[in-house]
Amino acid sequence: MVSAQSLLAFAAMSLLVIVIPGPSVLFVIGRALAYGRRTALATVLGNVIGSYALVVAVAWGLGALMERSAAVFMGVKLAGAAYLVHLGVQAFRHRKDLRAADMQAPPGERRGDLRTVLDGIFVGVTNPKGIVFFAAVLPQFVDHAAGHVPLQMLVLGLVPITIGLVTDTLWGLGAAAARSWFARSDRRLSLVGGTGGIAMIGLGVTVAATGRAE
């Protein structure tokens, strides 16, 4: 099974990677600014589910295929980038429909908690940073001599997932609190909602334009 030394070493490595904001964090912040705390927390939940799906994929060999194959990696990355841009455009389009009186998403954008979680899952599972980290770093902390390699990966994968859950939640709550202050006026709420949309669009473009090209 996983040794305490490997667990602590992987936790330290995970913390170093997670404290640097990546697509998941910026997506949560964008959703918090555009729609508020409830949507941000549902997005965080979806993100961690999607991220753990990557752990499962790596544990059974699929993650390594994505990391090694430039075509597969690029396809997954572009799909995630396109979806981020789509969500950002929707948030920006409906920014003027936001009202300080009810602090709700506009009628055309009320997706419901389940839809929001699914959005987060899709972004989490197509996150290039997550794909590379879990496919390239996670296997290095597995003790092959101890056997049960997939199980070891599944257990180790819970470490960054837990860290990400805590840090992403804090980011989301902080951004939502800032939104609440802006929401004292319709004009400011429209501004911050539009900012959240632009942030998601910019994130999608950045994800598409950066990363591995080979």
Confidence of residue 100 (pLDDT cuts 50, 70, 90): very low
Residues 185 and 18 sit within 8 Å (Cβ to Cβ) = no
What confidence tens digit (pLDDT) does each residue in 148-189 have?
Answer: 778 888 999 999 999 999 999 998 999 888 877 766 666 666
Give the CA diameter of the chain. 62
21-40 pLDDT, tens digit per residue, is 677 787 888 888 888 889 99
How far is 30 from 195, CA to CA, in rounded Å? 8
Lowest mean pLDDT among 30-44, 72-86, 94-108: 94-108
pTM of the model: 0.69
* Number of continuous H segments (helices) and E segments (strands) in the chain: 9, 0
Burial string for 100-132 (b: 16+ CB within 10 Å, else e) reads eeebebbeebebeeeebbbbbbbbbbbbbbbbb
How far apart CA 25 and CA 29 sit, in angstroms, is 6
